[in-house]
Amino acid sequence: MTNKKDIFLLSRIADACDKNFEPCFFDFYDEVFQEKIEDTIKNNGVPYLFFGGHPEAERKMLCIYPEYILSEDLKWPIFAIEFDKTMPLDHRNVLGELMHLGITRESIGDIDVGEEIVQIIAHQRLQDFLWINFNQVKGREIKTTIKEYQQILCVKKNFKRISVVVASNRLDGIINKIWGFSRQNSLIFIKQGKVRVNYSEISKNDFRLKSGDILSLRGKGKAKIISMDERTKKGNIRLEVDRYI
């Protein structure tokens, strides 16, 4: 369901389509909202582009621009701030620190946690603020480096391959196995709208999953089902899952 904040933003985007005299850049949006934006724009016949700093980015900035401008000439107001990964941490640790600084989620693109470095893609307006104020994660000091958007790396995402056994391919019986909580909590998370499959919110606990599906659970992370063809001796399904960390 689209909330008032989303309706206001989609109205701004529609207005930018009507007044398309120069490139108009918006914030970063996830895959679900990118689809809503495309539904708003597609009937206007104006050029637009999503870009998140590198080809594999998931959260992307929107630009609506006039026909006389080539997409490759757009100057994206994007930068990255990078620091060495000297401690165990994950996406949530970094995002929590940024939110603690009062930064809105829409101002931040992908947070790439690699084996050796952490890269945060953000809107250009945050560059000075982050350079001055973003200096620790998990209570430990970090030394940051600023990268222009042409220098942004495509950081390979870390994941842990796990094997879980389930009775069926129902959503509610799988997410609790992947993230380690009770079946009852699965029902609560689904009812609260916290579960997405292939970036679409799923409200039915008996939704059937298949190989290749990407699961997102707000507050827990993301996982991809690699295979679910193997059966145990008792007839249960053995899943191979990549859980992103």
Collapsed DSSP state (helix, strand, coil) of residue 215: strand
Mean predicted lDDT score pLDDT of the chain: 92
Closest alpha carbon to 126 in 140, 112, 144: 144
Measured distance CA(14)–CA(47) in Å, rounded: 13
pLDDT in tens, 117-168: 999 999 999 999 999 999 999 999 999 999 998 899 887 777 889 999 999 9
pLDDT band for 1, please (50, 70, 90 cuts). Answer: very low
